[in-house]
Chains A and B, each alone.
Chain A
């Protein structure tokens, strides 16, 4: 990684002023108390456009302490535009240490993926959310969707799944797949692939969702049940691939299809770059006999 940019002393720590951070922390506390419930908050203008993670970045700014280690991913990768820029933003405004290692991070801000490496207690994962309301496409009136949440009337969600099966023969929703949190609130998990949905269930880490344009924060506290909606005879299932990852050989990770020339040659590689790199390094180390590992196995 290139050298870290210097901390910019003209802005407050982590960009937002302290009053704003307190307001956001209050919203986060409320969200943690009511798992899956969308808490309104006074979202601020941020120096990046809506749709680029203005919600997630505000949540991260309110959570970061000076000694925290931050990881930012976009589609699983640490080195795509969105991830690089948000990481740089916090290096400049907060001077925090950054990492690509999932295990080392205290706060992970993510767009569209949950890392393959299991999260642990004490970690916080912050999701960037474009559309927080899972029923928005079927019921555009917000006053009505709030009422439906309040009364736990979720028949509409199954209308959506029913339509999928009727039209395509299976539930064709592959990302932002609706979930029921703690047996109470139906929640949009942000556009993560449905492959990642099972990782949300009883996860030891705290999961916080920020939607900047829609001005909503919601959360899944550690060890909270998260159930993907489905029909009895069309149960929830995750994507599977015929190939292992072409770089690290993983068979248990979410793969991206990469087209390598204009004649249709393609390869499948892990979308989680940290997971893939770690596995490749371990492979290389194993190729050269490693005393410590042999010792540990014995």
Chain B
């Protein structure tokens, strides 16, 4: 856990609701996320996990409820009452977002190095040598050979693209990462390496994360706490082990019992 302001949650979500037309995507979602904590959001496909993630990451304004983030400089601020420019600046510095589909989070036709340092350039760092050194360092940290720095992500494998996305986000040392099914579509051994890397980085950097997944094994490995969603509502929340070993809600029981025996 981080030392600073541990008395206050990093993210405070209250009564969140989002509608698509008349259909309710998420409703009455409330939770706190503490510094350094990893929260998994699980539930079946269509239960509102990704919608929730976009709403709390500042991408889509909710129809009701509030999302407040404990920003490094300003203390708790409501994401959707601040001007758009500040919200985007915050998203580029204090927050990170890893997309399920790497092509959504990367610039596929520019080099890996440029992808990694884009945030720094937008913050006004314009020394090519320094930028390059930092790109090499971060590629190494996510286990990509720095020799691949000038290749575009188009030439990268699925696992490398996900790791590149992570490096691109972590370069500003954000305090909170949003991960949308980061391991789906990867084969099992690559998944394991990525999970290992994520666990290591969140520990090292004291990073908090909200992790959306339908894979309970991923949740068990990475998350401290989890919430279970069904039809847009949170049906159960608690410590990961507690929810997975002793699920209370009928749906959670179904979810846990649906895991194939290994």
Query: In whole angstroms, what is the CA distance A159 to B122 when docked?
Result: 9
Query: In whole angstroms, what is the CA distance A135 to B149 when docked?
Result: 23
Pair A162/B117 contact, Cβ less than 8 Å: yes
Pair A165/B128 contact, Cβ less than 8 Å: yes
List CB contacts (< 8 Å) of B103-125 with chain A: 107, 110-111, 113-114, 117-119, 121-123
Q: Residues of A within 8 Å of B, CB-based: how many?
A: 20
Pair A155/B85 contact, Cβ less than 8 Å: no
The 6 closest A-B pairs by CB, nearest first: A155-B122, A158-B121, A231-B128, A151-B85, A232-B127, A155-B121
Quote the shortest CB–CB distance from B148 to chain A (angstroms).
12
What's the dominant secondary structure at chain A's contact region? helix
Q: Does B131 contact A (CB under 8 A)?
A: yes
Residues of A near B119 (CB, < 8 A) are 155
- Encoded as 1 (CB less than 8 Å from any B CB) or 0, chain A from 124 to 141 comes to 000000000000001000
Q: Does A167 contact B (CB under 8 A)?
A: yes
Q: Does B150 contact A (CB under 8 A)?
A: yes
Query: In whole angstroms, what is the CA distance A251 to B43 when docked?
Result: 72
Q: Does A166 contact B (CB under 8 A)?
A: yes
CB within 8 Å for A155 and B111 given contacts A165-B128, A234-B128: no
Pair A153/B88 contact, Cβ less than 8 Å: yes
Residues of B near A156 (CB, < 8 A) are 118, 122
Pair B121/A159 contact, Cβ less than 8 Å: yes
CB within 8 Å for A233 and B88 given contacts A159-B118, A159-B121, A166-B113: no
Pairs across A and B, CB under 8 Å, 6 listed: A138-B107, A153-B88, A155-B118, A162-B114, A162-B128, A163-B111
Which of A138, A154, A230, A234 is B110 in contact with, Cβ under 8 Å? A138
Pair A166/B150 contact, Cβ less than 8 Å: yes
Residues of B near A167 (CB, < 8 A) are 111, 150
- Encoded as 1 (CB less than 8 Å from any B CB) or 0, chain A from 141 to 169 comes to 00000010011011110110011011100
Q: Does B23 contact A (CB under 8 A)?
A: no
Pair B122/A231 contact, Cβ less than 8 Å: no
Which of B84, B107, B128 is A159 in contact with, Cβ under 8 Å? B107
Query: In whole angstroms, what is the CA distance A166 to B151 when docked?
Result: 10
Residues of B near A159 (CB, < 8 A) are 107, 110, 114, 118, 121
Query: In whole angstroms, what is the CA distance A162 to B149 when docked?
Result: 12
- Encoded as 1 (CB less than 8 Å from any B CB) or 0, chain A from 39 to 73 comes to 00000000000000000000000000000000000
Which chain A residue lies CB-closest to B84?
Answer: A151
